[in-house]
A and B are shown apart, each in its own frame.
Chain A
Amino acid sequence: MITIVMGSFQSLPDDHQYRTLSQKTGFSLEQIAILHNRFKQLSQNEETLRRDDLKTIQDLESNPIRSQIIEAFFDSRNFQKDVVGSVEEIGFEEFLTVMSYFRAPPQHITEEQREEIRRAKLRFLFNMHDTDNDGTITLEEYRHVVEELLSRSGALGRETAKGIADAAMLEVASISVGPMAPDEFYEGITFEHFLKVCQFVRLYAEAT
């Protein structure tokens, strides 16, 4: 969970704008102010953020899935419905929208709303894996995921990655589809299968 530390209350220049953002994403005004500061810091006071700006963050260097995280920020699916493709630069609104996926769900909401939030978060995760945007995570994409995870381990990781990805895929297939005849072909993990398999991830989704 990303608990945004409450900084000191600063004057909010774009109060009205913040309010609309707050309504849209669910962050509080102070949180938005803090994130806006961070945004300005990263984008060197420009209006839009580019990939290179994110790449300059020191701490991200050692993160194995760094490129995927950065991509997620520029992936249109995450901030606009029914649009695919990636953009070169994003504004603060898009930045905030992506960040809102990691916000804790508010206290007093109905079960359906909670469920919806969970789905949205898992969809975000799914989109991160499904790079070619066909709605399924194919074996290749899954392999890529595992390879990235093990990318810091050199050659050792790359070879095992395939084995691991294959095993994982088999597991998903057997859980989602059950027994398959040898001629059938399992296209890839759809979002529904993803939900089913990643049941434990629901807990995380709750936590994030």
Chain B
Amino acid sequence: MSVRKRRIYIDYCGMFILVLGLLVGSLMPLGGAASSPDTGTGHGGSHGNKNPGNGTTYSKKPFPVLSFDYEHVRLPFEISLWVLLASLMKLGFHLIPRVSSIVPESCLLIVVGLLVGGLIKMVGEDPPVLESKIFFFYLLPPIILDAGYFMPIRQFTENLGTILMFAVVGTLWNSFFVGGLLYGVCQLEGHKLAYVDLLSCLLFGSIISAVDPVAVLAVFEEIHINELLHILVFGESLLNDAVTVVLYHLFEEYSSVGSITFMDVFLGIVCFLVVSLGGIVVGAIYGILAAFTSRFTSHTRVIEPLFVFVYSYMAYLSAEVFHLSGIMALIACGAVMRPYVEANISHKSHTTIKYFLKMWSSVSDTLIFIFLGVSTVAGPHQWNWTFVVATVIFCLVARVLGVVGLTFVINKFRIVKLTSKDQFIIAYGGLRGAIAFSLVYLLNPKHFPMRNMFLTAIITVIFFTVFVQGMTIRPLVDLLAVKKKQETKRSINEEIHTQFLDHLLTGIEDICGHYGHHHWKDKLNRFNKKYVKKCLIAGERSKEPQLIAFYHKMEMKQAIELVESGGGAKLPSALPSTVSMQNIQPKKPSQDRALPQLSKAREEEIRKILRTNLQRTRQRLRSYNRHTLIADPYEDGWNEMLLKRKKMKELEKKMNNYLTVPAPPPDSPTITRARLASDPQAWGLKSVTESIPTIKVDLASPQSPESVNVVDEFSKKGSQPKEEEGGLTMKVPSPAKQRKDKTPDEEPQQRLMRCLSDPGPAPEEIQPLRSCSGCALHI
């Protein structure tokens, strides 16, 4: 181990021990009763009163310069310490690479929780338990929102039938199978377990049969399994919440009564529909509200992420008010608002939302597992060999049988069938987690005297699934050679062909006269485009077709990558930098080209210089804001266009002054600028307009027929404002022409002027004409 690494380890361990010590210390009483950090608010009082506060006798004390009053910060302090502990653990695992590749993080965290719990117990305190309220209101929502917001909608909807089958029918099957068999076992067992009645068993079955999204996410994220399986298991874990909620309430309500009638069952089914659909509707409403709000945030970009978070949280809470499925509400909210919000918010807000969600869900996730460990140490346990072992076995068996049986039925309707390998992974990936634990914890011990036994059994099952299944799933995936996630970036080709195929299949369906899946999807898309987008997306972006939006997004990404990778000097590998426009453009015979061609190297050098320096200039002119780039040209009114050109000319003049800096070395950007500045022709855009057509004729022959087009835009300006709008929008996508350059709006007039005043440069330089025009008119 190198010295540096050792240093890191030592530093880390030291810090960790300090935090741990603080944590344990904070739990120690300062002279009185014990308390758990999560529940205690009112334990002031009895702790070490410093001022006796008797009204009658005053004793003058010296003024306390420094006092120690821990109580009034106790709660936030402890919470922060726990969060800090969780985060440090996360850091720690990644410092030890070998361990983290074998053992999934969730296992390690539970172990840590066990250790911490043990430590606390040793000190003599009661370790804190994972309070259900805190779990359901603070720890669970970030994880679900993160999952819902970034859910791949396309795969989800394509497999919706399968997912629903697994979620609803699978969970029902599991609950009844486990519950029923456990009841049988209890009856058979005799004396110790006879008091466990059927309804309690069924309740237990329903709690334990739900696949847990937190655990699934934690494990599946690390194994990078192919998208189909991931969405199947994960979708199932999300959607089975509705079933769990209904069954839980149903059995809980009636276990005190002792029996269930048919009416109750029927009402249960109705309740299920209400809970799930209601949850989705609530979520969708909040999603639309959020999308609508984001339409107006163009002036206050800073609080945009806040709307996303708060609306989603409100959706969750509102659903919980009516005992609807909060998880489904949250998912619906995230999924509904995402396309519209992303079209409206700025790029920075988008990044903020992404990172905040990831951060919160990560912290939540860590805390949940640690607390599971701590609660195991703390919780009241009642161990019963038969019950616990039976539970574990039945859970496994039920899961396998359920998956196999359902797949048999589902495969009849699926086009891409699920193979037995897939089935195995689905069955094996059914992990249980903290939701089950919290639900059991919520049970009232008075109604359920066997609660402790349930608790023990649940913890055992959770441990089993997380440890055994979690640890072995990775080698099994490799062993079975299950398809892994394709690490392909979404490319423009893919997007084009996906859209093409969608339209093609819709068309074929129409020709067949058959109203299938594609037909309705197409109708939904058109409805969306026609009405919904207009309402929810600000400005002209509502009309932007998906392909173009995607293209812009990709360009942005690449432009940012380019800037990040050192300002263009080194091209990011993602770009097809080895092939450039000239390779694919049909070459026209070059005999009509009257101008000498600049050597390629020289040209590249010039481009590079211009790019790096003029980029900065441009930024000084105006802060780079994606929305003003696009929003501007969409102002109607031909006159405004003229006004803008005037404004821009004035700006040019200002730049002129700004740029006449003396003593430039040859070939530096300053000299090019100075040269241009001194060029009388340089700033007269109007004159340029006239002159372009003539130059264009000579240079029309070069590789880009676009230069012709661009100029057309200029010349046609007088007659077709609409056309020009098209021309203006070319602003952002112009980099397509200069793949190598990759600077969205950097091509300044200077280049244009230079081209015109000095006919030396290669015709390719004219390509920026297009962008110049756009950029010129933009300002």
- Which residues of chain A have a CB within 8 Å of any CB of chain B? 1-5, 35, 38, 41-42, 54, 57, 59-60, 62-66, 69, 73, 99, 102, 104, 125, 128, 138-140, 145-146, 149-150, 152-160, 162-164, 166-175, 177-180, 182, 184-186, 197-198, 200-201, 203-204, 206-208
Q: Is the CB of A139 within 8 A of B415?
A: no
Q: Is the CB of B501 within 8 A of A204?
A: yes
| Min distance, Cβ A21 to any Cβ of chain B, angstroms | 16
With A and B bound together, what is the CA distance between A180 and B739 in angstroms? Answer: 14
Q: Is the CB of A152 within 8 A of B582?
A: no
A171 partner residues in chain B, CB cutoff 8 A: 491-493, 576
Task: Tell whether B687 is near chain A: CB-to-CB under 8 Å.
Answer: no
Q: Is the CB of A65 within 8 A of B507?
A: yes
Q: Can you identify 27 A-B contacts, CB atoms within 8 angstroms?
A: A63-B507, A63-B522, A65-B504, A69-B504, A99-B508, A145-B496, A145-B500, A146-B547, A150-B545, A150-B547, A153-B545, A157-B548, A159-B727, A162-B709, A164-B736, A166-B737, A170-B579, A171-B576, A174-B578, A175-B576, A177-B579, A178-B578, A179-B579, A180-B578, A184-B583, A198-B493, A203-B416
| Min distance, Cβ B546 to any Cβ of chain A, angstroms | 10
Q: Is the CB of A1 within 8 A of B501?
A: no
Tell me the B726-749 residues at the A interface (CB within 8 Å): 726-727, 729-730, 733-734, 736-737, 739
| Min distance, Cβ A5 to any Cβ of chain B, angstroms | 6
A163-B733, A182-B600 known; A139+B586 contact, CB < 8 A: yes
| Min distance, Cβ A195 to any Cβ of chain B, angstroms | 12
Task: Tell whether B1 is near chain A: CB-to-CB under 8 Å.
Answer: no
A155-B726, A171-B493 known; A186+B514 contact, CB < 8 A: no
| Min distance, Cβ B776 to any Cβ of chain A, angstroms | 16
Q: Is the CB of B493 within 8 A of A139?
A: no
Q: Is the CB of A207 within 8 A of B415?
A: yes
B496 partner residues in chain A, CB cutoff 8 A: 145-146, 149, 164, 168
Main SS at interface, chain B: helix
A4-B514, A63-B506, A66-B507 known; A170+B580 contact, CB < 8 A: yes
A149 partner residues in chain B, CB cutoff 8 A: 496, 499-500, 503, 547
Main SS at interface, chain A: helix
A182 partner residues in chain B, CB cutoff 8 A: 580, 582-583, 600
| Min distance, Cβ A115 to any Cβ of chain B, angstroms | 16
B580 partner residues in chain A, CB cutoff 8 A: 170, 182
A160-B548, A163-B730, A163-B736 known; A139+B585 contact, CB < 8 A: yes
Q: Is the CB of B513 within 8 A of A38?
A: yes
Task: Tell whether B484 is near chain A: CB-to-CB under 8 Å.
Answer: no
- Contact partner, B505, options A2, A139, A154, Cβ 8 Å: A2
B513 partner residues in chain A, CB cutoff 8 A: 38, 41
With A and B bound together, what is the CA distance between A208 and B508 in angstroms? Answer: 11
- Contact partner, B511, options A57, A174, A178, Cβ 8 Å: A57
| Min distance, Cβ B247 to any Cβ of chain A, angstroms | 34
Number of interface residues of B (CB under 8 A): 63
Task: Tell whether B587 is near chain A: CB-to-CB under 8 Å.
Answer: yes
B548 partner residues in chain A, CB cutoff 8 A: 150, 153, 156-157, 160, 164
| Min distance, Cβ A51 to any Cβ of chain B, angstroms | 12
Task: Tell whether B723 is near chain A: CB-to-CB under 8 Å.
Answer: yes
Please provide the 4 A-B residue pairs with the shortest distance between their CB atoms, ordered closest to farther: A174-B576, A155-B726, A179-B578, A163-B736
Task: Tell whether B188 is near chain A: CB-to-CB under 8 Å.
Answer: no
Task: Produce 1/0 per residue, B469-492, CB < 8 A to A.
Answer: 000000000000000000010011
Q: Is the CB of A186 within 8 A of B584?
A: yes
Q: Is the CB of A102 within 8 A of B508?
A: yes
Known contacts A170-B583, A171-B493, A200-B497; 5 additional CB pairs below 8 A are A3-B514, A59-B510, A125-B501, A164-B733, A166-B581
B497 partner residues in chain A, CB cutoff 8 A: 125, 198, 200-201
With A and B bound together, what is the CA distance between A208 and B497 in angstroms? Answer: 14
Q: Is the CB of B503 within 8 A of A167?
A: no
CB nearest to B729 among chain A residues: A156
Q: Is the CB of A60 within 8 A of B503?
A: no
- Contact partner, A167, options B519, B551, B727, Cβ 8 Å: B551
Q: Is the CB of A173 within 8 A of B492?
A: no
A57-B510, A156-B544, A160-B548 known; A2+B516 contact, CB < 8 A: yes
Q: Which of A5, A99, A169 has the most CB of B within 10 A?
A: A169
Q: Is the CB of A180 within 8 A of B583?
A: yes
B726 partner residues in chain A, CB cutoff 8 A: 154-156, 158-159
Task: Tell whether B512 is near chain A: CB-to-CB under 8 Å.
Answer: yes
A63-B503, A149-B499, A166-B581 known; A69+B511 contact, CB < 8 A: yes
A35 partner residues in chain B, CB cutoff 8 A: 512
A42 partner residues in chain B, CB cutoff 8 A: 511
With A and B bound together, what is the CA distance between A2 and B709 in angstroms? Answer: 42
With A and B bound together, what is the CA distance between A158 and B548 in angstroms? Answer: 10
A185 partner residues in chain B, CB cutoff 8 A: 583-584, 586-587
B516 partner residues in chain A, CB cutoff 8 A: 1-3
A178-B578, A186-B579 known; A200+B503 contact, CB < 8 A: no
| Min distance, Cβ B599 to any Cβ of chain A, angstroms | 11
Task: Tell whether B94 is near chain A: CB-to-CB under 8 Å.
Answer: no
Q: Which of B493, B519, B706 has the most CB of A within 10 A?
A: B493
A155-B723, A169-B584 known; A160+B551 contact, CB < 8 A: yes
A163 partner residues in chain B, CB cutoff 8 A: 551, 730, 733-734, 736-737
With A and B bound together, what is the CA distance between A162 and B492 in angstroms? Answer: 13
With A and B bound together, what is the CA distance between A2 and B506 in angstroms? Answer: 9
A152 partner residues in chain B, CB cutoff 8 A: 545
With A and B bound together, what is the CA distance between A41 and B512 in angstroms? Answer: 10
Tell me the B165-189 residues at the A interface (CB within 8 Å): none
| Min distance, Cβ A165 to any Cβ of chain B, angstroms | 8
- Contact partner, B729, options A62, A64, A104, A160, Cβ 8 Å: A160
Q: Is the CB of A173 within 8 A of B583?
A: yes
Task: Produce 1/0 per residue, B708-732, CB < 8 A to A.
Answer: 0100000000000011011101100
B488 partner residues in chain A, CB cutoff 8 A: 200
Task: Produce 1/0 per residue, B532-567, CB < 8 A to A.
Answer: 000000000001110110010010000000000000
A102 partner residues in chain B, CB cutoff 8 A: 505, 508
| Min distance, Cβ B583 to any Cβ of chain A, angstroms | 5
Task: Tell whether B526 is near chain A: CB-to-CB under 8 Å.
Answer: yes
| Min distance, Cβ A78 to any Cβ of chain B, angstroms | 13
Q: Is the CB of B517 within 8 A of A1?
A: yes
With A and B bound together, what is the CA distance between A153 and B499 in angstroms? Answer: 14
Q: Is the CB of A59 within 8 A of B493?
A: no
With A and B bound together, what is the CA distance between A110 and B736 in angstroms? Answer: 43
Q: Which of B583, B723, B730 has the most CB of A within 10 A?
A: B583
A160-B551, A207-B415 known; A2+B509 contact, CB < 8 A: yes
Q: Is the CB of A168 within 8 A of B493?
A: yes
| Min distance, Cβ A10 to any Cβ of chain B, angstroms | 15
With A and B bound together, what is the CA distance between A145 and B584 in angstroms? Answer: 16
| Min distance, Cβ B499 to any Cβ of chain A, angstroms | 6
Task: Tell whether B667 is near chain A: CB-to-CB under 8 Å.
Answer: no
Q: Which of B511, B544, B726, B737 has the most CB of A within 10 A?
A: B511
CB nearest to A159 among chain B residues: B726
B733 partner residues in chain A, CB cutoff 8 A: 160, 163-164
With A and B bound together, what is the CA distance between A57 and B709 in angstroms? Answer: 36
| Min distance, Cβ B643 to any Cβ of chain A, angstroms | 22
A155-B726, A157-B548, A173-B583 known; A168+B492 contact, CB < 8 A: yes
A60 partner residues in chain B, CB cutoff 8 A: 507, 510-511
CB nearest to B507 among chain A residues: A69
B504 partner residues in chain A, CB cutoff 8 A: 65, 69, 125, 128
B493 partner residues in chain A, CB cutoff 8 A: 168, 171-172, 197-198
B587 partner residues in chain A, CB cutoff 8 A: 185
A159 partner residues in chain B, CB cutoff 8 A: 726-727, 729-730
With A and B bound together, what is the CA distance between A41 and B510 in angstroms? Answer: 13
With A and B bound together, what is the CA distance between A104 and B246 in angstroms? Answer: 39
With A and B bound together, what is the CA distance between A154 and B415 in angstroms? Answer: 37
Task: Tell whether B758 is near chain A: CB-to-CB under 8 Å.
Answer: no
With A and B bound together, what is the CA distance between A155 and B503 in angstroms? Answer: 20
